[in-house]
Structure 1
Amino acid sequence: MASAESIVDAALAALAGGRVYPDVAPTKVVKPYIVYQSAGGVDETTFDGADTLQNSRMQVVVWATTRAEAATIIQQVRAALTDAPVLGTPIGASVSVYEDDTNLFGSRQDFSIWYQE
């Protein structure tokens, strides 16, 4: 059975040295790394019940030691999630972020991903 998380994990596995994590990265992880989490989606439930076609709004964040590296990797993420077999749709453009506590640069983007449950 497919899940949005397994689809994203497989699509991004080759990026950021394979450091791709659901929700939160391990403590002291090598940079750069990618985290992702489901942030809702479209519910296709009707009076006939739930459909096997499911949707997830997946938020992906790249963390790196430089702005340039974060920007490059989020472009790779976009390519991986919009190409076959995922065929995700970006929800807006990527957003640049900076984390004062860790001195890391980030790039965040949301994707709509449809899949069969």
Structure 2
Amino acid sequence: MLNALTDLVAGRVFANVAKADTVKPFITYQAVGGQPINYTTGEVPDRENTRVQINVWASAHLEATTLGKQVEIALRTSPNLQAEVLTGRAATYDETVDAHGTMQDFSFWN
């Protein structure tokens, strides 16, 4: 997933949070759940599903919206990821870092 996103923001992709002085735009991501596989036989599955929220942060709303769409396209078209889009992009604003953002959830199998 990281390889598909790093070129969009000159490598500024961070797990969970970025430092307050990080140059915008940047991307954060976090695991927010997934779809467990449960076998009645007690076997341990050889794959896992992870639901990941991708957050885009920028100086202006339009920039965040545009970059959010680029993230979705990059994940949808990456041949190695097989990402599934779970939600539409939601707009947000973070006062602590004065950043406009978008949030969107994706599903990945690994």
Task: Tell me the distance in 2 between the aligned counterparts of 1:104 and 1:14.
Answer: 20
TM-score normalized with structure 2 length: 0.90
Deviations along 1:53-107, whole A, 9 cap, x unmatched? 1100000000000011101111111012112121211111000001223321000
Equivalent residue for 1:19, pick from 12, 16, 23: 12
Task: Tell me the distance in 1 between the aligned counterparts of 2:6 and 2:43.
Answer: 34
TM-score normalized with structure 1 length: 0.85
The residue number in structure 2 matching 1:94 is 89
Task: Tell me the distance in 2 between the aligned counterparts of 1:50 and 1:77.
Answer: 33
The residue number in structure 2 matching 1:4 is none
Moved more, 24-33 or 46-55: 46-55
> Gapped runs of 5+ residues in structure 2?
none
> Gapped runs of 5+ residues in structure 1?
1-7
The residue number in structure 1 matching 2:3 is 10
Moved more, 40-49 or 65-74: 40-49
Aligned-residue CA RMSD in angstroms?
Answer: 1.2
Task: Tell me the distance in 2 between the aligned counterparts of 1:18 and 1:42.
Answer: 29
Q: Could you tell me the percent identity over the aligned residues?
A: 33
